[in-house]
Structure 1
């Protein structure tokens, strides 16, 4: 395995504060235009390598000097804060939609209607562009969660993969084996501040036909559909299909339970796939990613999750060049598709035309694609505002479910409390 310094030498990079800086080829050093792009490092090294290649191509074709900085995801907020304070912010960044959107309210990001109008984005991808009714973000990829199933446990009982929430529960009852330390469902319900539990509860509410708010942000949570969803979720814990301590789990606990082989289903990102590849290939061989269930075959199966997006800094020195590059990047749709597939299904395409391929029809990948088709923001169907985001991070739905499961509160009383929250 190459060291970072060796890899930097191969790719024409230098090290800066733990991140890679990629300079433009020497022949464009005297270019009239410049682009400073801060990108997050990805699990799959091919992504950053492919992005660098596209930047080099853009630099040569357009006479642009490019500074490409690869920053670990955990460091980017701190580094951006320092750069903004000193007036040295980049022209372009890439990160998850929640992180990049933080720079909208501080008037850092440019509106991007002129970029979006020339790209054939999927309809639900465009939801990730909008904040306060204006378009500030350019979607790069969906990062839909997957429903991980222990297919060996299902096969032992002669069960098909579940397609409805009721089928999932019925299957869980058959594979559940708490006496031997195995629980069918690894669903966190801890009010830890993370997003896994809140996303799960909101997903089931949406699938059952409930809504927390309408399209205008009006609270409409108190409905028979939401009540039915909450009663269903509560039953999974009350009937012992989830580990007893799941009501205290944070976002890492379901990962750990899956890797330990003590649960038969979790909902999570592709990070678990990477962990299994490195630590437990036998478990990976017994894992199947399926589409999230619906209430019935005729109903929509929603998935709550995020996307990677470009953010173009209005306060950067080269806003127009950043827009030129993003447009240039999406003009090569075959290259875009290759980059998405290089991520091994951890990313899903946000542009139309690349779903019906051998890659996405493969059993290992199709579940991720299906989950991206109805992927919605965690605040759906509310307008994307700071208030809606705060509602999610406060975990109002998880806290209402804890009233039922932990404190024995009547479900309708807990729903009334959720309405007030």
Structure 2
């Protein structure tokens, strides 16, 4: 099939030999006999005219039964899924390629992905996953090389963030395209800390010292840690443990290193916060949305989250938003700041019957302008993966959005210091680190017991991949 591009061109079109178009007044000439002689005058008039030129551009042939399917995470931002669906509908309108899109509850994605890998014939053409899931699909050989699409869109907006591209590149081939960066900002209720007579914390130590003055049982709790959730609790666990010098594995990702003095120090820290009564009482039964609800309803003074809380507050509670500071991650006593990040990436699976058509959809969704339009539609709940996009005035001139963008500089993949791997994915999806924290927060285990338990679980996971 050929795709046709219609171009309007304005030309200066010369109209000549227009006899009779402009007749002057007849002139009278005297001769022997009086006769009337009419002098004919020929004029040339330039008239602009729009000429339509059709240019033929080669595009993949579209079989009459072609249908693309896509699995996408549900967004926590109101209206975001509808906007993405409208972008897909525009793609169908432009190309004639129908797309069936399925939105998946984030709490169910890992189970659905695992089941699909066991039955790969059920995989869709296009799939959206976070960075920690990528190795499972790539190592199973279920992803299509999309290096050509990466090359095309890297010509836009300063190109894609190189660190994010490297996370989905194996042996020089890219198997996914980073779409959005879910940078984890630190949220502080500035009015609550001010009322408590303490400055907004910038370090873990300052937070521990401020919390007793902030806590008011039944009314206000210092820290909104939804430890029984999923993504956010795993990001916070790494944020805390890395800041204290602990890691889940060695740099090769072959041996558990979680049972260390550094990790135990981090667990003693979280125990101290729990002993202060700094967490909402329902934290053991919290879910992935609980910290959003706690902060948005005024129950907690601090949490970490992507931009979804900020996006909601700016639209629904401007007063609270004005009293909210979004900041870069808390620092340890040496001033080091570390945060885990899981960028959302699109990929094409090997189950696709129409990989060339799927690449058209992939490039459509991940292009600089379309991904930016999505970010705008979510009220800047995400950070762009394009280098130049984060420097736009709408980001740099807003302190909260700027902090979100700056958090990227302190972020690393959840497998750090090891490379991404299927083992790292299972450690993350099994919630080994957040469960280790929860065991201490609830008093079920001592820090030493919980670190030893986590070490056993991680080594069991690593053994399955060696």
The alignment's TM-score, normalised by the length of structure 1, stands at 0.75
The 1:160–1:363 alpha-carbon spacing in structure 2 relative to 1, beyond 3 Å, is farther
Work out whether 1:303 is the aligned partner of 2:332: no
Secondary structure of 1:141's aligned partner: strand
* Match among 211, 228, 231 for residue 268 of structure 2: 231
* Match among 179, 187, 192 for residue 153 of structure 1: 192
Q: Structure 1 residue 236: deviation in Å?
A: 1.0
Structure having the larger proportion of residues in helix = 1
Q: Once superposed, what is the RMSD of the aligned Cα atoms?
A: 3.8
Larger radius of gyration: 2
Q: Structure 1 residue 259: deviation in Å?
A: 3.3
Name the CA distance, whole Å, in 2 between partners of 1:135 and 1:292.
30
- Give unmatched runs, 5+ long, in structure 2: 1-55, 458-466
1:346-361 to structure 2, matched below 5 A, reads 346-361=381-396
1:397 aligned residue: 433
Name the CA distance, whole Å, in 2 between partners of 1:306 and 1:98.
6
Secondary structure of 1:147's aligned partner: strand
Is the CA contact 1:94–1:100 (under 8 Å) kept in the aligned structure 2?
A: no
Is the CA contact 1:273–1:284 (under 8 Å) kept in the aligned structure 2?
A: yes
Is the CA contact 1:143–1:308 (under 8 Å) kept in the aligned structure 2?
A: yes
1:340 aligned residue: 375
Work out whether 1:175 is the aligned partner of 2:189: no
1:33 aligned residue: 62
1:23 aligned residue: none
* Match among 130, 145, 150 for residue 111 of structure 1: 145
Is the CA contact 2:311–2:378 (under 8 Å) kept in the aligned structure 1?
A: no
The 1:100–1:389 alpha-carbon spacing in structure 2 relative to 1, beyond 3 Å, is closer
Is the CA contact 1:254–1:266 (under 8 Å) kept in the aligned structure 2?
A: yes
Secondary structure of 1:261's aligned partner: coil
Work out whether 1:371 is the aligned partner of 2:407: yes
1:92 aligned residue: 126
Work out whether 1:70 is the aligned partner of 2:101: yes
Is the CA contact 1:222–1:415 (under 8 Å) kept in the aligned structure 2?
A: yes
* Match among 133, 146, 162 for residue 123 of structure 1: 162
2:35 aligned residue: none
Q: Structure 1 residue 51: deviation in Å?
A: 5.3
Secondary structure of 2:389's aligned partner: coil
2:224 aligned residue: 186
Q: Structure 1 residue 154: deviation in Å?
A: 2.3
Number of equivalenced pairs: 382
